[in-house]
Amino acid sequence: MNQPFMGPPDKFGRFGEFGGRFVPEALMPACLELEAAFDDAWADELFRNEFHHVLKEFGGRPTPITYCERASDALGISLYLKREDLAHTGSHKINNVVGQALLTRRMGKRRMIAETGAGQHGVASATAAAKFGLECTVFMGEVDTKRQELNVFRMELLGARVVPVTSGSKTLKDAVSEAMREWVTCVTDTHYCLGSVMGPHPFPYMVREFQSVLGKEAASQCLERGFQPDFVVACIGGGSNAAGLFAGFANSSSQLVGVEASGGAAISGGSPGVLHGMRSMIIQGESGQVEEAHSISAGLDYPGIGPEHSHLAAQGRARYVMATDHETLDALQFLSSHEGIIPALESAHAVAWVMRESGREIPTGSTVLINLSGRGDKDVAQVRQELRARRD
């Protein structure tokens, strides 16, 4: 009998040849403690009930599915959006941080630290910390603090301390590295609230399980409306929103498509390697030196991808494609003007691929579900600058 897709990892935290736990000896006890705490909590009906209750009463779940009539007519498909942009704090990130904040409290720790790129995970972490009375420190690349000034202020308003990271490329990769360095020094009273399905085990599995609420919800909503999507599409940096969505459709007939930034396409342009405690597909040179990624969206500016995505690609269950910065800007304008919905630049990558491939890889008449993982308020100033520069 064939094993279902997207089951738990093996006892070493591996999905096939990917995953694992490649961390300094000083962090191994913290990872083992977290694994045991999550396994115990996730098996506890009371914990799961509280998780879902908080997401309903505080996080705004369930989020709806929206049919995009004008965009569908323009593209020759039936286009639906899973509206994670309507969740509290404006993205899917609230699902994971509520789970990890509850886990932090359950482990008796007083403080959370987090990394952030576009700022959405940082805002969500600061939000959950404020709700549950936890201290919060967020590490953010200096480049990203400048292009996401609004989210920096939101985090500070929520009571978090934002630490600009000035090493390396000063973006998401370096924020993760700095957060891990901090965690080594304070594991006894601090939990690292990692924001995506990456890093050492149990983070990829744990974050996927917390995010699977959106995929299971979407699958049920599609069934209630009488259709099975031909294509299920999500943008990918580390890959948490895609993993959450795919979890609801992995064992269905739907084609799963993850859309990476063309300047950070780890599946298409990378090779197996180790980064941030995991073995996955990484953008690296011949000598194994990790190379810098580039994306117009801070949240996709990462040179790796979560190990389960690498495994899904190796299995042939999911496809991973690319969208350029130019296509992404066009897609953001298209969805805004046709549907009155301004997507985050990250989510616009998924829209861009669907726009490009409708009538080609996506046959005319197909039903497509995109995870609109975040709203574009945070990106409006940057988009205005980009469009002005394009006109000039």
Catalytic residues: 68, 92
Closest by CA position to 66, among listed 381, 382, 370: 370
Amino acid in position 211: Q
Q: In whole angstroms, what is the distance from residue 69 CA to residue 60 CA?
A: 25
SS (H, E, C) the chain: CCCCCCCCCCCCCEECCEECCCCCHHHHHHHHHHHHHHHHHHCCHHHHHHHHHHHHHCCCCCCCEEECHHHHHHHCCEEEEEEHHHCHHHECHHHHHHHHHHHHHHCCCCEEEEEECCCHHHHHHHHHHHHHCCEEEEEEEHHHHHHCHHHHHHHHHCCCEEEEECCCCCCHHHHHHHHHHHHHHCCCCEEECCCCCCCCCCHHHHHHHHHHHHHHHHHHHHHHCCCCCCEEEEEECCCHHHHHHHCCCCCCCCEEEEEEEHHHCHHHHCEEEEECCEEEEECECCCCCECCCCCCCHHHCCCECCHHHHHHHHHCCEEEEEECHHHHHHHHHHHHHHHCCCECHHHHHHHHHHHHHECCCECCCCEEEEEECEECHHHHHHHHHHHHHHHC
Cα separations (Å) of 177 from 151, 204, 342? 21, 16, 31
Closest CA to 119 of 160, 87, 83: 160
